[in-house]
Amino acid sequence: MMQILVSKNNCMIFTEDLKNIVHLAEANDRDLSLVLEMAKRFNQQHQGVRFGAFVFGPVVMRMYYHLNQPDAALAALQTKELEGFFDQMISHQLLMDLLYNNERYQDALDVFELLQEKRIAGIRYPKPCLTIAVATCLKINTQESLTRMLKLLESTQEYGFNINRNIILYAAALALKQNHPHFALDFLLKSFSPNHFAIRTMKVMALCDLDRVEDIFPILRSIMQIDLPATSGSDKGFHILSEAVVAAENAVRKTLKKNLIAEFESISRSLQENSLISDKVRFFIYSCGGSVHVY
């Protein structure tokens, strides 16, 4: 393949050639450079061809993802000779996730802005990429990232886009971390899954931060009112995490109202007796660990 590239005869790069090198490439400068140059030649050969050409963008981007090469992947996307080569939403999605995994948060947001400008297939806010963008704002965790996220989600709503549960959770978590529980509660109330354990948990935390103690009790009572069969998965989605119960207890005791404290102790005791308080899994929003794999 290297001989073909340096040949003066301007030899063709065939589909199978590029397929082979993409699957054989390893994480070294020689292989990555070879893939890039072959992709350039292949893209040049197929300029103006709408039908029949194999779409290599996602395949090449998955190679970069598999080899964990964020710099090479970002450089490839920005290469002028590869214009149109990566014009697929999945290619941008893979790159954003790769950058996110490598803590290249600003680069991930820049790729999302580029995707919005392209409007591939006429879509301005593809859900998987929007999810990564909001999760990235949470990772940055600054007042500026909160402002950026709020503007982004406001524009999606003006565009008529319904945000999903993951986006709601990331957005609410960032609002809570930046001491804006009213924004967090506003996001959580948009969820179509009010009984989801993470939505319920964060809603209680937001209400505690807003000192709306009495509004916590109906949420806690509703957990006990759900009648489920005694199966191994019966508690899935119908419990509350311990972080919220601790926050609620602190908020209730801070009121110094004996009737509220007594009522909370009764509810808390019932939740514990029925194993409805989960402390097995640390609240993923607040630990902010792991990757956002959405493809």
pLDDT at res. 234: 41
Structural tokens at position 162: 């319904």
Say which residue, 135 or 229, is predicted with more confidence: 135
User: Is 98 in contact with 65 (CB distance < 8 Å)?
Assistant: yes
Query: Is the pLDDT at 286 greater than 50, yes or no?
Result: no
Phi, psi of 240 (to 5 degrees): -135, 150
Phi, psi of 101 (to 5 degrees): -60, -30
Q: Where are the domains positioned within the chain? A: 1-41+55-99
Q: How many whole angstroms from its chain centre is CA 123?
A: 18
The residue among 151, 152, 248 whose CA lies nearest residue 205 is 248
* Bridge partners, 223 (sequence order): none
* Residue reference for tokens 């490839």: 76
Give pLDDT tens digits for 12-49: 888 999 999 999 999 999 999 999 999 999 998 887 66
pLDDT at res. 226: 62
What is the pTM assigned to this prediction?
0.86
How far apart, in Å, do the first and last CA atoms of the chain sit?
A: 32
Q: Which of 16-30, 142-156, 209-223, 232-246 has the weakest average pLDDT?
A: 232-246
* Bridge partners, 278 (sequence order): 241
Query: Is the pLDDT at 132 greater than 80, yes or no?
Result: yes
Phi, psi of 204 (to 5 degrees): -65, -45
* Residue reference for tokens 């406001």: 154
Cα torsion angle, 201, 202, 203, 205, sign:
positive
pLDDT at res. 47: 77
Long-range contacts of 147-151 (CB under 8 A, 24+ apart): 148/109, 149/174, 150/183
| Side chain identity, residue 216 | I
* Residue reference for tokens 């996110």: 100
Give pLDDT tens digits for 203-224: 999 999 999 999 999 999 988 8
pLDDT at res. 9: 73
Query: Is the pLDDT at 282 greater than 60, yes or no?
Result: no
Give pLDDT tens digits for 164-199: 999 999 999 999 999 999 999 999 999 988 888 889
Largest CA distance in the chain: 89
Give pLDDT tens digits for 249-267: 999 999 999 999 999 999 9
Say which residue, 227 or 128, is predicted with more confidence: 128
**DSSP string computed for 170-222:** HHHHHHHHTT-HHHHHHHHTT-S-TTSHHHHHHHHHHHHHTT-GGGHHHHHHH
pLDDT at res. 233: 45
Using CA atoms, how far residue 161 sits from 122, 201, 280, in Å, is 13, 25, 35
